[in-house]
Amino acid sequence: MISTRLRIAVAGFGPFPGVPKNPSGEIVRAIAKMRRLPTAGIALDTAIFPTAYGLADAELERLIAKKPGAIVLFGVAGRAKHIRVETVARNRASILHPDHTRFTPADRRLAAEGAEHLRVRGPAMRMRAAIRNAGVKAELSRDAGSYLCNAVFYRALAATAELKPAPLTFFIHVPPSDSNFSMGMLIRAGAAAVWTAASEAARVRAVPHRDG
């Protein structure tokens, strides 16, 4: 039980070209229905981001405005062999792959004056361990790609960097749901990730100036 109410933002993505049913969004929908988290004093703010740059940014801003203690973002990686806990967001965008609205960025950089890369804010190794303890294979990753997943991760880290305290911010890439990774397994891993983020955020709140 978390002693005082803690807000956690959880988001995934909707469909995009080639992925008509995005498991990251299904994970978020399932987590939103779980009673364990609110019973433990955790207030969830959830969103399914449209897979479009401007629209996803607007939804992210809405979540950040609620001042969460942690942000857990999920996305799908079509060729992944396991769950990936991303550790680096890069200041880059693909000018080759359009989003769901057929928009393609004109610039290879997400932020003209931004840092080349931003690191995950939170204990990535503990997150990996929690997912493994849920019975799902997980590894750390240093490449969140150059599509919407990386863009949202980068913008979430950049937008919250100056907040006091800054929310822990994670990005979890999941494989497509198939015979190797059932939707039930992915949801179980997602729930473990959110619970871990909440536990770590509560710990940070209890120990000022500690960011995980």
* pLDDT score for 210: 47
pTM, two decimal places = 0.91
Please state, in angstroms and rounded to a whole number, the distance separating the CA atoms of residues 174 and 143. Answer: 13
More confident site: 173 or 209: 173
- Specify whether the CB–CB gap between 32 and 8 falls below 8 A: no
Average confidence score pLDDT of the chain: 90
Phi and psi at 193, nearest 5°, equal -65, -45
| 38 CB-near residues (< 8 Å, 6+ apart) | 44
* pLDDT score for 99: 75
| 199 CB-near residues (< 8 Å, 6+ apart) | 2
What confidence tier does 94 reach under pLDDT thresholds 50, 70, 90? confident
Summarize the confidence of residues 121-136 as an average pLDDT. 97
Least confident of 60-74, 92-106, 189-203: 92-106
What confidence tier does 4 reach under pLDDT thresholds 50, 70, 90? low
Give the pLDDT confidence of 135-153 residue by residue, as tens digits: 999 999 999 988 899 999 9
Q: What is the DSSP string of 23-74?
A: HHHHHHHHHHT-SHHHHTTEEEEEEEE-SSHHHHHHHHHHHHHT--SEEEEE
Nearest residue to 55 via CA among 109, 113, 13: 13
Please state, in angstroms and rounded to a whole number, the distance separating the CA atoms of residues 5 and 208. Answer: 17
Summarize the confidence of residues 39-60 as an average pLDDT. 92
Nearest residue to 171 via CA among 2, 27, 18: 27
Summarize the confidence of residues 13-28 as an average pLDDT. 88
What confidence tier does 2 reach under pLDDT thresholds 50, 70, 90? low
Give the pLDDT confidence of 154-193 residue by residue, as tens digits: 999 999 998 988 999 999 999 998 878 999 999 999 999 9
Beta strand residue intervals within 57-167, DSSP E: 70-76, 83-86, 88-90, 117-119, 138-141
What confidence tier does 209 reach under pLDDT thresholds 50, 70, 90? low
Domains of the chain and CATH, by start: 6-205 (3.40.630.20)
What confidence tier does 211 reach under pLDDT thresholds 50, 70, 90? very low
Q: What percent of the chain has pLDDT over 70?
A: 95
